[in-house]
Amino acid sequence: MIQLTHSPIDADLMVRSAQSPAAGAVLLFLGCTRQHTAGRETTELVYDAYEEMAAKELATLEATARERWGLVECLIVHRLGVVPLGEASVAIVVASPHRKAAFEAGEWLIDTLKESVPIWKQEHWADGSSEWVHPTK
Partner 1 sequence: MRVTVKMFAAARDAVGPSVDVEVPDEATIASLRGQLMTDYPQLADLIRRAMFAIDATYANDDSVISSVSEVACIPPVSGG
Interface ranges with partner 1 (CB under 8 A): 31, 47-50, 52-54, 56, 78, 89-90, 110, 113-122, 131-137
Nearest residue (CB) to partner 1, 35 versus 132: 132
Which CA distances in Å does 45 have to 13, 49, 86? 24, 13, 10
Q: What is the DSSP letter of 53?
A: H
Q: CB 20 → partner 1: shortest distance, Å?
A: 27
31 SS3 class: strand
Q: CB 1 → partner 1: shortest distance, Å?
A: 17
Q: CB 45 → partner 1: shortest distance, Å?
A: 10
How many angstroms from the chain centroid is the CA of residue 115? 12
Nearest residue (CB) to partner 1, 18 versus 83: 83
Q: 100 Cβ partners below 8 Å, 6+ apart?
A: none
Nearest residue (CB) to partner 1, 15 versus 110: 110
118 SS3 class: coil
